[in-house]
Amino acid sequence: MKTHTDLDVWKLSMDFVENIYKLSANFPKEEMYGLTSQIRRAAVSIPSNIAEGASRQSRKEFVQFLYISLGSLSEVETQLMLSERLHFTENIQSVLNNAVTIKKMLNGLISHP
């Protein structure tokens, strides 16, 4: 029986979370309860919602959780761009590219029954 851990999008989103944690480790200490916390929580929400949706009994519920993952991914993209504008980090393009890949994969799962 397959589970969420078999989904490539879940695996990639777990790697994405790891990268977000590493990147945000260099944010200013005064942002620990601000942007650092927010970007990490939004990133963790991506694979978490994929996992929760995959455990649901219906396709409709699964898709609902995939949409939540998409929303969290958009949050992370925005927070990454903000962190770059505030000079907390730089060279975020590779992380943003990973976000685009995850977004395409999520949309693919949503679109194809």
Q: What's the CATH number where 52 sits?
A: 1.20.1440.60
What pLDDT, on a 0 to 100 scale, did the predictor assign at position 113?
A: 67
**pLDDT recorded at residue 2:** 78
Q: Using CA atoms, how far apart are residues 90 and 80, in angstroms rounded to an integer?
A: 9
Burial class for 5, CB neighbours closer than 10 Å (0-12, 13-18, 19+): exposed
What is d(CA 51, CA 28) in angstroms, rounded to the nearest whole number?
31
Tens of pLDDT along 15-71?
999 999 999 999 999 999 999 999 999 999 999 999 999 999 899 999 999 999 999
* Phi, psi dihedrals of residue 88, rounded to the nearest 5°: -80, -25
Domain count, the chain: 1
Which residue range(s) make up the domain with 96?
4-111
Interatomic CA distance for residues 102 and 44, integer angstroms: 13
